[in-house]
C-alpha cells in the first residue's frame, strides 16, 4: 500500500508566532496527521522576504521544501525562475473567491491556492486609548496632539517596508506601474506627495516615533503604549486575543484634500514547488491543501485569526457577517487595490525600500527620493533580462 508509506512534508509558512498564525498552521498539520498517521509535517516559519530569498536559494541547491504558504507577489519571481507549478489542473478552483484567484494569476495560469482573502493593511486602534478612529489625516493630527499630551505614541507602523507606503500612494491616485503593468512609474508627483505626507506626519506633526519596524510597532501597540497601528489582516487574530472588544478596526484615514488610501489586497496562498513534479509526495501535498482550505478549516481560520476566507462556501459563515472586526476589515478591502504579481514588482519593492527610508530618516528630500526610486527600478528591470 503506497497509502501507508511514511511521508514527511516540509511546509514553509510566512505565518509568525506573534499573531497566532504559526500555531494555526501547526494545528492544521497536526489535524491532518491524526487523520493520516503516516504523514508528518515540519512547519517552518520564515519572515516574508526571507521565505522568498531562502526558497530561491534552496531550489537552486535542489533542496526545496514541499509546500509554501505565502503571499501572492512571490508568484512573480517564482514563476520567472520556474520554481512553482500551476495549480489549475490539481484543484477545483471554482470553489474559491474570484478576487483571491485573480491575484495569483500570471500568463493565464493560476499559481497558488488561496487560503485567506485580503492580506491588506488597515488602521487598528486601542479603544481604551482612543475612542474612535480618525476619519482623515487632519483628524489624525488633531488626535495625535491629544495623545502625545498623555504621553501615548499616537500611531505606529512598519517604517521599513514600502508595503506600508503604497496605500498612501493610491490615496493620491498614484500607481507603481504604467498602464502596461510592467513599466515602473515611481518618479511621479503622486509619489512625491506621498513621501512628503509621510515626512510631514513624522517630522512636523510627530504622529509616529523616530524609529519603528514591524516588531517594534507591534510591541508598542500590544503593550498599550501606542494608540493606533497600521497593520495587516494577519495580525487581527493576535490583537483580538489581547484586546477583545477594545480592538477597533477601521480604514486607514482618508488623506485630507485627496482620497482614501488604497492598500494592496491579495491574500495568502499555498504554492507548490515544481520540484514535486512527478513525485509521489505531490498527491499528499494536494490532499493536504484541499484539507486545509476545506469549509471546516476555513471557519476555524475565521474564528482564530479573524481573516476573510478564500473559499466561497465559507463566506456565509455567521462569523463573517456579524463580527465587527471582519466588517472593518471588509470595509477596508472595498477601497483596496489588487497587488501586482509580475516579476517587475520586485524591482519596485527593492527600489522603493531604501528611498522611503531615506525620506523618513531625513537624509533625502521627497523629490530626490522619487527620482532615485525610478532610476533604481529602471536599472533593476534591465538586470532582470
Partner 1 sequence: MTFEVITSSLGQVGSTVLFILVGTILLEILIYLIMGKVLKSRYTLPAMLLGPGIVGLAALIVYPLLWELNLSFTNMSLRRFGDKAEYTWLVCQAADPAAINSWLFDCLLKNYADVFRLPVLKQVYFFPVFFRTILWTFINLVFHLLGGLGLAMLLNRPMRGRALYRTLLILPWAIPQVIAVLAWRGEFNFEYGFPNIMLTQIGLEPVKWLTDPTWNFIAMCMVNIWLGIPFMMVILLGGLQSISREYYEAAEIDGAGGWGQFRNITLPLLQPVMTPAIILGTIWTFNNFNVPFFINQFELETSDILVTALFRAAFQYNRYGFSAAFAFVIFIILLLYSIFYIHVTGTLKEVKL
Where helices occur in 96-228 by DSSP H, the ranges are 98-102, 137-149, 166-171, 189-199, 214-222
- β-sheet bridge partners, residue 105: 110
User: How far, in Å, CA of 265 to CA of 338, rounded?
Assistant: 5
Applying CB under 8 A, among 81, 182, 282, 319 the residue interacting with partner 1 is 81
User: How far, in Å, CA of 313 to CA of 331, rounded?
Assistant: 20
CA-based nearest residue to 172, from 158, 186, 155, 184? 186
Applying CB under 8 A, among 210, 280, 296, 324 the residue interacting with partner 1 is 210
Contact segment (CB under 8 A) with partner 1 among 96-104, 203-211, 228-236, 309-317 equals 203-211
Instruction: Please report whether residue 280 would count as binding partner 1 according to CB under 8 A.
Output: no
Size of the site for partner 1 (CB under 8 A): 40
Instruction: Please report whether residue 282 would count as binding partner 1 according to CB under 8 A.
Output: no
Site for partner 1 in 4-33 (CB under 8 A): 6, 8
User: How far, in Å, CA of 96 to CA of 156, rounded?
Assistant: 34
Contact segment (CB under 8 A) with partner 1 among 57-65, 141-149, 193-201, 327-335 equals 57-65
**CA of residue 99 relative to chain centroid, distance:** 15
Instruction: Please report whether residue 39 would count as binding partner 1 according to CB under 8 A.
Output: no
List the grid coordinates of 167. Answer: 496605500
Shortest Å, Cβ 99 to partner 1: 27
Site for partner 1 in 176-195 (CB under 8 A): none
Applying CB under 8 A, among 72, 160, 297, 306 the residue interacting with partner 1 is 160
Applying CB under 8 A, among 343, 345, 359, 370 the residue interacting with partner 1 is 343
Instruction: Please report whether residue 360 would count as binding partner 1 according to CB under 8 A.
Output: yes
User: How far, in Å, CA of 313 to CA of 370, rounded?
Assistant: 44
Q: Choose between 319 and 380: whose C-beta lies nearer to partner 1.
A: 380
108: left (phi over 0), alpha (psi -120 to 50) or beta: left
Q: Choose between 206 and 246: whose C-beta lies nearer to partner 1.
A: 206
Where helices occur in the chain by DSSP H, the ranges are 21-35, 48-60, 75-80, 98-102, 137-149, 166-171, 189-199, 214-222, 236-243, 281-292, 295-305, 318-322, 324-334, 344-360, 366-384
Interface ranges with partner 1 (CB under 8 A) = 6, 8, 40, 42, 49, 53, 56-57, 59-60, 63, 77, 80-83, 160, 209-211, 213, 216, 343, 346, 350-351, 353-355, 357, 360-361, 363, 372, 376, 379-380, 383-385
Amino acid at each position: 500500500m503506497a497509502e501507508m508509506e511514511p511521508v514527511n512534508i516540509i511546509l514553509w509558512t510566512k505565518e509568525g508566532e506573534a499573531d497566532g498564525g504559526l500555531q494555526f498552521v501547526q494545528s492544521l498539520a497536526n489535524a491532518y496527521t491524526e487523520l493520516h498517521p503516516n504523514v508528518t509535517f515540519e512547519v517552518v516559519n520564515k519572515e516574508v522576504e526571507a521565505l522568498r530569498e531562502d526558497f530561491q536559494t534552496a531550489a537552486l541547491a535542489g533542496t526545496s521544501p514541499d509546500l509554501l504558504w505565502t503571499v501572492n507577489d512571490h508568484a512573480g519571481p517564482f514563476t520567472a525562475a520556474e520554481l512553482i507549478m500551476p495549480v489549475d489542473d490539481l484543484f477545483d478552483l471554482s470553489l474559491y473567491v474570484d478576487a483571491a484567484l485573480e491575484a495569483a494569476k500570471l500568463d493565464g495560469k493560476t499559481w497558488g491556492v488561496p487560503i485567506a482573502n485580503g492580506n491588506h493593511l488597515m488602521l487598528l486602534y486601542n479603544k481604551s486609548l482612543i475612542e474612535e478612529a480618525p476619519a482623515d489625516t487632519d483628524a489624525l493630527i488633531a488626535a495625535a496632539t491629544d495623545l502625545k499630551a498623555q504621553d501615548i505614541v499616537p500611531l505606529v507602523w512598519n517604517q521599513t517596508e514600502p508595503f506600508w507606503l503604497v496605500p498612501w500612494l493610491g490615496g493620491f491616485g498614484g500607481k507603481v506601474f504604467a498602464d502596461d503593468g510592467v513599466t515602473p512609474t515611481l518618479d511621479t508627483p503622486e509619489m512625491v506627495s506621498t513621501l512628503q505626507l509621510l515626512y510631514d506626519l513624522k517630522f512636523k506633526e510627530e504622529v509616529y516615533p523616530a524609529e519603528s519596524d514591524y516588531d517594534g510597532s507591534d510591541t508598542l501597540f500590544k503593550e498599550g503604549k501606542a494608540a493606533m497601528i497600521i497593520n495587516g489582516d494577519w495580525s487581527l487574530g493576535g490583537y483580538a486575543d489581547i484586546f477583545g472588544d477594545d480592538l477597533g478596526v477601521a480604514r486607514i484615514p482618508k488623506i485630507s484634500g485627496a482620497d482614501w488610501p488604497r492598500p494592496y489586497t491579495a491574500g495568502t496562498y499555498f504554492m507548490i514547488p515544481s520540484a514535486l513534479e512527478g513525485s509521489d509526495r505531490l498527491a499528499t501535498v494536494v490532499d493536504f491543501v484541499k484539507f486545509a482550505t476545506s469549509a471546516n478549516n476555513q471557519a476555524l481560520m475565521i474564528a482564530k485569526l479573524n481573516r476573510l476566507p478564500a473559499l466561497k462556501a465559507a463566506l456565509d459563515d455567521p462569523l463573517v457577517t456579524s463580527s465587527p472586526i471582519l466588517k472593518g476589515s471588509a470595509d477596508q478591502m472595498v477601497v483596496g487595490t489588487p497587488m501586482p504579481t509580475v516579476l517587475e514588482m520586485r524591482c519596485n519593492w527593492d527600489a522603493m525600500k531604501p528611498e522611503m527610508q531615506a525620506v523618513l530618516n531625513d537624509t533625502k528630500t521627497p523629490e530626490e527620493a522619487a527620482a532615485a526610486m525610478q532610476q533604481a527600478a529602471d536599472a533593476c528591470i534591465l538586470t532582470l533580462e
